A and B are shown apart, each in its own frame.
Chain A
Amino acid sequence: MNFEHILFSIEAGVATLSFNRPEQLNSFNAKMHGEVREALKQVRQNPEVRVLLLTGEGRGFCAGQDLGDRNVAPGAATPDLGESIEKFYNPLIRTLRDLPLPVICAVNGVAAGAGANIPLACDLVLAGRSASFIQAFCKIGLIPDSGGTWTLPRLVGMARAKALTLLGDRLTAEQAEQWGLIYRVVDDAALREEALKLAHHLATQPTYGLALIKRSLNASLNNSFDEQLDLERDLQRLAGRSEDYREGVRAFMEKHTPAFKGR
């Protein structure tokens, strides 16, 4: 399957999806949205895929919505931005969060607008040292979308979330790591390799169990303590039925390396 605005490949259990409109800092137009959606559908339907790696080509990771697609002419009717969120961004964010496999995001450069919040819907975020996060929405009279208003206060606390979103200042990758917004900063030159190494490692792990971990942590943000304990009971019940659990225990007892299948 050939795409115009993304690069997509599946190899050894790892699906790699890279935004590929480098001239426009990988900002989204309708076609790129459609291609990302199609690629993610393939990820969901292909049982071979056990890890997804999301990244961008060129200097930027993703500059959010391509405003060239959104030119507001004076005197024209006001656009319905809610519609584009309903149609494009929300399904994308929901898919990344709900995918039953670990999603790694390698932020290779500037991540602005929706592009700053897409990584936050992923599970493990690595960023190159020169990468930065900009909640640029406030500069053009908009509010952060793609889950930003929900995710940011939970990751960095309300005070920092408000500062980031009301000022729209550039947050460096190192600062983002210190604040707990992302998992790890690595040197620019090593980013792709580090991310792939992590992805290939995870692809050998009990990914069914990893998906359950992801599911439980995502749910915990809305659950009461009691509800979460019940959920842990249920998901552990599922995990305990997996082939990988048997394999893990067997390998532990027999003191050799387990061969996990992701089921």
Chain B
Amino acid sequence: MPRTLAVLPPEQGVRLITLQRPEALNALNTELLGELAAELDAAEQDAETRVVVITGSRKAFAAGADIKEMAERDLVGILNDPRLAHWQRITRFSKPLIAAINGFCLGGGCELAMHADILIAGEDARFGQPEINLGIMPGAGGTQRLLRAVGKSLAMQMVLTGEAIDARHAQRAGLVSEVTQPEFTVERALAIGRVIAQKAPLAVRLAKEALLKAEDTDLASGLRFERHAFTLLAGTRDREEGIRAFQEKRRPEFTGQ
């Protein structure tokens, strides 16, 4: 059993992972990151799990990396940092990942949230990359994913000043898709997850891949990738079922085949 996470068995196809290091506002130490990567690997293999929702506490999604741990690493230590492999495993997760964010979402926490495909924020959530205040900079996608999500000016401002923005600002900027009452953040994320969990898994998987492609390729290649993915789905039983159910005006029964 992971020590820094609470994991619920999937319900209606959605698995909920809760970060649990209350003593440190869910700071992402290496142990937590490793456990999270392992949990996502397990969810990847689990046929019952169609979507994963990840959340923290009411007070903090995750308030950054573990500074104590960071202080102990010199240049060589950082070069051989095991955390990089954990981040890469999280990035590899092929099923939809939804982040339900309340409270502090800073530094590594903000970077983790940006690894999710969909971000839902409670009204009092705060997003920031305060690394610059420690004489360092974001090191897990903060300078890359943030810029792609919110545009250059705001990303520069956040990373260079270290100042956080609130949930409404994050929504206006395109970092999060919905802002809810804080008590409902997790529920809303689960509800979205359940909707996705009812779709054809192969279509969901390829659609996610195509969308992520859009972030790091030129338009022509992206369109080519999209077309290939679209064509691949033509060979699935779920596509037949989806179209037939639509014509027969009934709910489709997707099997993932």
User: Which residues on A are within 8 Å of B, measured CB to CB?
Assistant: 231, 234-235, 237-238
Cα distance, A238 to B180, chains bound together (Å): 13
Specify the chain B residue showing the minimal Cβ separation from A235: B181
Q: Say if the beta carbon of B11 comes within 8 Å of chain A.
A: no
Q: List 9 A-B contacts (CB under 8 A).
A: A231-B181, A234-B180, A234-B181, A234-B183, A234-B184, A235-B181, A237-B184, A238-B181, A238-B183
Specify the chain B residue showing the minimal Cβ separation from A238: B183
**Residue interface mask B162-180, A partner, CB < 8 A = 1:** 0000000000000000001
**Which chain A positions have C-beta within 8 A of B183?**
234, 238
Closest CB-CB distance, A1 to chain B, in whole Å?
24
Closest CB-CB distance, A244 to chain B, in whole Å?
16
| A interface SS class | helix
Specify the chain B residue showing the minimal Cβ separation from A98: B124
Specify the chain A residue showing the minimal Cβ separation from B180: A234
Closest CB-CB distance, A100 to chain B, in whole Å?
11
Known pairs A234-B183, A238-B181 / 7 extra A-B pairs, C-beta < 8 Å: A231-B181, A234-B180, A234-B181, A234-B184, A235-B181, A237-B184, A238-B183
Closest CB-CB distance, A77 to chain B, in whole Å?
25
Specify the chain A residue showing the minimal Cβ separation from B181: A234
**Which chain B positions have C-beta within 8 A of A237?**
184
**Which chain A positions have C-beta within 8 A of B180?**
234
Give the size category of B's interface with A: under 10
Cα distance, A235 to B183, chains bound together (Å): 9
Cα distance, A237 to B113, chains bound together (Å): 27
Specify the chain A residue showing the minimal Cβ separation from B187: A237
Closest CB-CB distance, A118 to chain B, in whole Å?
23
Cα distance, A73 to B88, chains bound together (Å): 61
**Which chain A positions have C-beta within 8 A of B181?**
231, 234-235, 238
**Which chain A positions have C-beta within 8 A of B184?**
234, 237
Cα distance, A24 to B183, chains bound together (Å): 43
- Which of A234, A235, A238 counts the most B-chain CB atoms under 10 A from its CB? A234
Closest CB-CB distance, A211 to chain B, in whole Å?
12
**Residue interface mask B120-152, A partner, CB < 8 A = 1:** 000000000000000000000000000000000
Closest CB-CB distance, B185 to chain A, in whole Å?
11
Specify the chain A residue showing the minimal Cβ separation from B124: A98
Cα distance, A234 to B182, chains bound together (Å): 10
Closest CB-CB distance, B121 to chain A, in whole Å?
15
Cα distance, A46 to B188, chains bound together (Å): 29
Specify the chain B residue showing the minimal Cβ separation from A231: B181
**Which chain B positions have C-beta within 8 A of A234?**
180-181, 183-184
Cα distance, A211 to B219, chains bound together (Å): 51
**Which chain B positions have C-beta within 8 A of A231?**
181
Closest CB-CB distance, A44 to chain B, in whole Å?
13
Cα distance, A177 to B223, chains bound together (Å): 66
**Which chain B positions have C-beta within 8 A of A238?**
181, 183
Closest CB-CB distance, B123 to chain A, in whole Å?
9
**Residue interface mask B184-211, A partner, CB < 8 A = 1:** 1000000000000000000000000000
Specify the chain A residue showing the minimal Cβ separation from B123: A219
Cα distance, A98 to B168, chains bound together (Å): 17
Cα distance, A235 to B184, chains bound together (Å): 10
Specify the chain A residue showing the minimal Cβ separation from B183: A238
**Across chains A and B, which 7 residue pairs bring their CB atoms closest together, nearest first?**
A234-B181, A238-B183, A234-B184, A235-B181, A234-B180, A238-B181, A231-B181
Cα distance, A238 to B183, chains bound together (Å): 8
**Which chain B positions have C-beta within 8 A of A235?**
181
**Residue interface mask B91-123, A partner, CB < 8 A = 1:** 000000000000000000000000000000000
Cα distance, A235 to B182, chains bound together (Å): 11
Cα distance, A235 to B180, chains bound together (Å): 11
Closest CB-CB distance, B152 to chain A, in whole Å?
28
Cα distance, A231 to B181, chains bound together (Å): 8
Cα distance, A234 to B185, chains bound together (Å): 11
Closest CB-CB distance, B102 to chain A, in whole Å?
14
- Which of B180, B181, B183, B184 counts the most A-chain CB atoms under 10 A from its CB? B181
Cα distance, A238 to B187, chains bound together (Å): 12
Closest CB-CB distance, A188 to chain B, in whole Å?
40
Cα distance, A235 to B181, chains bound together (Å): 8
Closest CB-CB distance, A208 to chain B, in whole Å?
11
Closest CB-CB distance, A83 to chain B, in whole Å?
16
Closest CB-CB distance, A47 to chain B, in whole Å?
15
